[in-house]
């Protein structure tokens, strides 16, 4: 049997590359696996040889110690790979297929899946609706920052690339289909971006950059990106966005007025989440900052797309309320302005096939927008460290040297 290695969370601030079990078509006991999920048979699944697997900001929250993730968890929910083994009950996926794996694990059979709400499947996680690979409180499914990984419900979930040769030519773009591109697109789409819209995107990390690029694809006339890091803002400007450096300015509306002539935008996206910082010099962490800011600068009747992660437990929060996900949000402001809020995980399968077509046609240049940077598996800990420092890169792990 082949060996396997993966990126393992070993406690706050520490990840390492370790030997891990070669995947089988069963969910075995391990870190974070609920007792009722142990031994779950997955003959409807496949084994993938991982081609690319990306480091996500959501992974970084765990590595910083800002969740209740258990030590020993194999990380990674952004997975693209080649099918090397198919389960007995798999009918349409074949060995040799190159596929994108939606980070949402979904059965395809429950009421939520039938409504295309695959982000809140009710059958794959006994603890709450929704599941993901290598993530805290998400069913205990083993992550894919590894050489090989098991993917359940393959016929329903997997997006097969129609041309293997062209797929490898575009692999740096296609690897973004598992999460970041659909998540950014979901943020822009659920914010109601359309032709001519003016849009504010909070955060110039990879999801924020993906949301900004998606807003452009949807026809926005002006996309303004706010962040505290000048390097990230420079990346946003590289593909035509306006920017606001929030470490220098604490009055966002005034900065927007300088760009648009009015202090409001049509719609806004929160691509930051619960580790938000206040605006202005030395403001420190203020987890409700972004939500309050986007309500303030979005016009009455506007929509707010909120793909940024918010959690129910944050042991590293500065106050006891925030430790349980209770934030000081000016909900009355949003109510008075009749804002629409769209929150939660992204239902990747609603978007990934169409975004794939945009990539193959050349319309979408997502790898360029997020500055995709390839590293090998052994470089993953260094990638986490650099990502944590705020570099303007999206790290793509290439565990088998398939694209380097």
Confidence of residue 281 (pLDDT cuts 50, 70, 90): confident
pLDDT at 1 over 70: no
In this prediction, residue 368 carries a pLDDT of 98
Tokens of 359: 């990539």
Q: In 130-159, which positions are buried (b, 16+ CB within 10 angstroms) versus exposed (e)?
A: bbbbbbbbbbbbbbbbbbbbbbbbbbbbbb
Q: Which domains does the chain have, with CATH numbers?
A: 5-179+351-359+368-397 (3.90.180.10), 180-342 (3.40.50.720)
Q: Which two tokens stand for residue 211?
A: 């949301």
pLDDT digits (tens, 9 = 90+) for 354-368: 999 999 999 999 999
pLDDT in tens, 288-302: 999 999 999 999 999
- What is the Cα–Cα distance from 268 to 306, expressed in whole angstroms? 9
Is residue 285 a contact partner of residue 276, using CB atoms and an 8 Å limit? yes
The average pLDDT across 29-41 equals 96
pLDDT band at 282 (very low <50, low <70, confident <90, very high): confident
Which residue has tokens 């303007």?
392
């Amino acid at each position: 049997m082949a060996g396997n290695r993966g990126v393992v969370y070993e406690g706050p601030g520490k990840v390492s590359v370790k030997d891990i079990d070669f995947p089988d078509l069963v969910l075995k006991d391990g870190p974070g696996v609920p007792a009722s999920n142990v031994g779950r048979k997955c003959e409807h699944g496949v084994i993938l040889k991982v081609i690319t697997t990306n480091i996500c900001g959501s992974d970084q929250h765990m590595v910083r110690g800002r969740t209740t993730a258990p030590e020993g968890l194999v990380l990674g929910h952004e997975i693209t790979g080649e099918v090397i083994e198919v389960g007995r009950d798999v009918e349409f996926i074949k060995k040799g297929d190159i596929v994108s794996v939606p980070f949402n694990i979904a059965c395809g059979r429950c009421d939520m899946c039938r409504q295309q709400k695959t982000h809140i499947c009710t059958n794959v996680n006994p603890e709450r609706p929704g599941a993901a690979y290598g993530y805290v409180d998400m069913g205990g499914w083993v992550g894919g920052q590894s050489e090989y990984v098991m993917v359940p419900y393959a016929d329903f979930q997997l997006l097969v690339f129609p041309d293997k040769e062209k797929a490898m030519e575009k692999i740096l773009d296609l690897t973004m289909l598992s999460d970041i591109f659909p998540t950014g697109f979901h943020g822009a789409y659920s914010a109601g971006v359309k032709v001519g819209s003016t849009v504010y995107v909070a955060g110039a990390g990879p999801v924020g950059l993906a949301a900004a690029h998606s807003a452009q694809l949807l026809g926005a006339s002006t996309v303004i990106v706010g962040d505290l890091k000048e390097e990230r803002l420079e990346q946003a400007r590289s593909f035509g966005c306006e920017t606001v450096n929030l470490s220098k300015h604490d009055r966002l509306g005034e900065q927007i007025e300088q760009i648009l002539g009015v202090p409001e935008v049509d719609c806004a996206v929160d691509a930051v989440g619960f580790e938000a910082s206040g605006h202005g010099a030395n403001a420190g962490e203020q987890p409700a900052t972004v939500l309050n800011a986007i309500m303030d600068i979005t016009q009455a009747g506007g929509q707010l797309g909120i793909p940024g992660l918010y959690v129910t437990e944050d042991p590293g929060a500065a106050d006891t309320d925030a430790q349980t996900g209770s934030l000081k949000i000016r909900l009355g402001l949003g109510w008075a302005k009749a804002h629409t809020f769209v929150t939660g995980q992204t239902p990747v399968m609603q978007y990934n096939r169409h975004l794939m077509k945009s990539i193959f046609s050349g319309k979408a240049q997502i790898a360029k927008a997020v500055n995709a940077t390839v590293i090998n598996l052994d470089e993953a800990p260094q990638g986490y460290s650099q990502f944590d420092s705020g570099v303007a890169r999206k790290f793509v792990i290439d565990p088998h040297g398939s694209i380097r």
